[in-house]
Each structure stands twice: as C-alpha cells, then as structure tokens.
Amino acid sequence: MSAPAGTLTDLIRTIETSPIVDRDTTAQALAFVRDGVLTGEGPTAAGRVHFSRSLDTGDADWCARILTAAALDHQPVSRAEAEALFQINDAATERMDDGRFDDLFAKAIVHHAASSSGLPVPPRAVALSPETAIESWAPTKAIGVNIEVLEWIAAQMRGKRRHNRLLMSLVATLIGAATTLPLAHSLPGLLDLGM
C-alpha cells in the first residue's frame, strides 16, 4: 500500500461525516495507523508515548473507529481494508492492547472472506464489536466460501512471525472443510500456515 493521500484529519472527517464512504478512503486512513505503528510517530501517535513497531490500545481504537464508521456499517470489509490490517499486524512486533487489535483483525478478515464469497455477514457494528463472538456469525463450513479468498488469506499469513490464533483456527477449519470438496486440488500448500 502506498503512502496515504490527504491528511488523516480529512480522511476521518470524510469517513465519519459523509453519508457514503469509499472503502479505499478507510484503507488510506488505516495506512496512517500502520505508519504510526512502524515509526512511533505521526497523527495516530500524537499526544502519547508511542514506540516504533508497537501497537497499543490507541492504535486499536483508531482501527476500530475507522472500520466502524456509520456510513460503512452495511458495507463488507474490502480487500484494500483487509490488506491494510495485515500490514498493521505485520508492522507491530510488540503488543500492548490487551488483544483488542487481534480480535478486530480476525473479525474484519473473516468478514471480508465471507462477504467476498457471497455469504451473508452482519453489519460492521455487530460483526466487529468486541462484544460479539466471531463464532456467532462466521462461516464454519467451506460450502460457498471462495477458494481464491482462502488462498489469499493463507498467503498473507504464511511465513509471518506473529499469527492471530483465532484467525488461523477459522481459516484452518474452512480449508479443512474445503479439502473435502472437488476444489481440493486447488489448495496445495495452503494448509502449511506455519501453525
């Protein structure tokens, strides 16, 4: 993902006040969070002590604020947003957020995978809420799950030092179920996620 266009203030204003928001705008705002995690500086780290390569509750709050804006509620998490979240996850070698980002990250990626497969997903305010258990809405069977999306997620996770156990468990379940389908031949190497 390239450097964010515009200022974070402009992007947040658009995300929080516009009746219609382009999900690329939210991906751009998430890029500011990624940059703040990487450097420990910038608008998302302003006003607090923030070390480079660390993710704290402030960063998790920024991600939640961006992803759950009212105008986005009935839009599924996009590939660009999911990519930005993977980049934030990769950038953060240190976590000080009590698991808040990991919860949001897993839910957003599964929301993207399910919606990209044409499966029903709840509104973002429900699906991404810390009070909602992902098991209450995430697909648990591979029937109808787009194999390309599973391959993309597995490729994003492969070879990474830090793994989101909840996301890995859900993806492994879906991949395991998918291997019983006729499309199983298209999944070589997918199960090698480095668990």
Instruction: Kindly state whether residue 171 falls inside one of the protein's structural domains.
Output: yes
Residue type, 145: V
Q: What is the pTM of this model?
A: 0.83
Residue 67 falls inside a structural domain: yes
- Any domain includes 2: no
Q: Domain residues for 173?
A: 8-186
In contact, 44 and 32? CB cutoff 8 Å:
yes
In whole numbers, what is the pLDDT of the chain averaged over residues?
Answer: 83
Q: pLDDT digits over 26-71, tens only?
A: 999 999 999 999 999 999 988 888 999 999 999 999 999 999 999 9
The residues facing 56 across adjacent strands are 96
- What's the alpha-carbon Rg for the chain, to the nearest Å? 16
- Let me know if residue 53 belongs to a domain: yes
182-194, pLDDT tens digit by residue? Answer: 444 444 444 444 4
Which one, of 94, 93, 69, 92, lies nearest residue 81 by Cα?
69
Query: Is 191 a member of any domain?
Result: no
- Distance separating alpha carbons of residues 73 and 94, to the nearest angstrom: 30
Number of domains observed in the structure of the chain: 1
Q: Between 130 and 22, where is the model more confident?
A: 130
pLDDT at position 192: 47
Of 8, 112, 129, 16, the C-alpha closest to 71 is 16
